[in-house]
Amino acid sequence: MNAPKPVRRIGIGHRSREALYGYAFVAIWMIGFALFTLLPLVQTLRYSVNQVTVSATGITLEYVRWQNYTRAIFTDPAFLELLLEYAVQTLISVPIIMIFSLIIALFLNLKLKFKGIFRTIFFLPVVIISGPVIQELVAQGATSAPGVAMTDTVTEFLAGLPVYLANPIQYLLTSFILILWFSGVQILIYLAGLQKIDQSIYEAAAIDGASAWETFWKITLPGLATTTIVVAIYTVIALSHFSENKVIQYIYLQTYAVGSGIGYASAMSFLYFFVLILILALVFFILSYRARK
């Protein structure tokens, strides 16, 4: 009598199982992105090349090609001025936020008592900015220091500068408090990056006689090169979707304005998105170039 053949079990390996788990977690995000971001984005792109009319019977689309885009670029000086102001203010705010975040992270990385309390204090503005409280604070002028730019010395100094230099400096002086409020998450990211640097490198540098200043420039900053790129990209995006952003407010108002509508606002939103991509590309190129040197 022939012996029965052994049953061969079909299974998956450990690495394949881990890959499936990873794809399962990613799939949740991909489904959410497709439903709540990609589809509305495609619909907005469709609206941007149409004249959208909303009536009691529904939505009517009239294909106008690129007229909404050309109108925003060539016949709407207010939108172009706001775009330029947004770009300049973002390029000014990003390095200030990054430098401030790095300084605070360096202090929090020291052996201090009650470090958890300090981390909470610096993170609290993130909670305020993400809610309606910031609108009331901005309306009451609590996030700005207009008195700094109103002194006679500063006023005379700004009057002697060209407009393209005077406006950014005035923005920096009046909105310095609000700029620093965007540093909460960046501080935590820098702090995580600092804690990943091998401490033995600092010990070896100290044995070789390196000063704290030399250690910072030769070890800390190069070790935070990737972290700095992440912080910069996050900062640009955080500033760009801030609820008090003037470009976003202008686009929102044009959505319901007579003679504009959803189609025109959709075109402006895509132009705004294009400018955001350019700023991100510029920041990434500069920081990547510095990291390779």
pLDDT, tens only, 196-241: 888 888 888 888 888 888 888 888 888 898 999 999 999 999 888 8
39 φ, ψ to 5°? -65, -50
Residue 289 pLDDT exceeds 70: yes
Residue 17 pLDDT exceeds 90: no
Residue 293 pLDDT exceeds 70: no
Residue 189 pLDDT exceeds 80: yes
Highest average pLDDT, of 10-24, 126-140, 250-264, comes from 250-264
51 φ, ψ to 5°? -90, 110
Q: From 215, 178, 210, 208, select the one nearest 194 (Cα to Cα).
A: 215
CA distances from 211 to 22, 170, 202 (A): 44, 38, 10
Percent of the chain past pLDDT 90, that is, above it, reads 18
Residue 73 pLDDT exceeds 60: yes
Q: What is the pTM of this model?
A: 0.78
Tokens 């500068």 correspond to 161
Q: What's the maximum distance between 2 C-alpha atoms anywhere in the chain?
A: 109
Out of 12-16, 59-63, 105-109, 209-213, which region has the weakest mean confidence (pLDDT)?
12-16
**pLDDT digits 0-9 by tens, 92-138:** 889 888 988 898 888 888 877 776 777 777 776 666 665 566 666 66
Mark residue 114 as left, alpha or beta (left: phi above 0; alpha: psi -120 to 50; beta: remaining): left
pLDDT value at position 129? 62
Angle at alpha carbon of residue 45, lines to 240 and 255, rounded to 5°: 65
On average, the pLDDT of the chain sits at: 81
CA distances from 75 to 65, 68, 79 (A): 16, 10, 9
Out of 23-27, 41-45, 87-91, 153-157, which region has the weakest mean confidence (pLDDT)?
153-157
- CB environment 174-206: b (16+ within 10 A), e (fewer): bbbebbbbbbbbbbbbbbebbeebeeeeeeebe
CB 190 within 8 A of CB 231: yes
CB 135 within 8 A of CB 244: yes
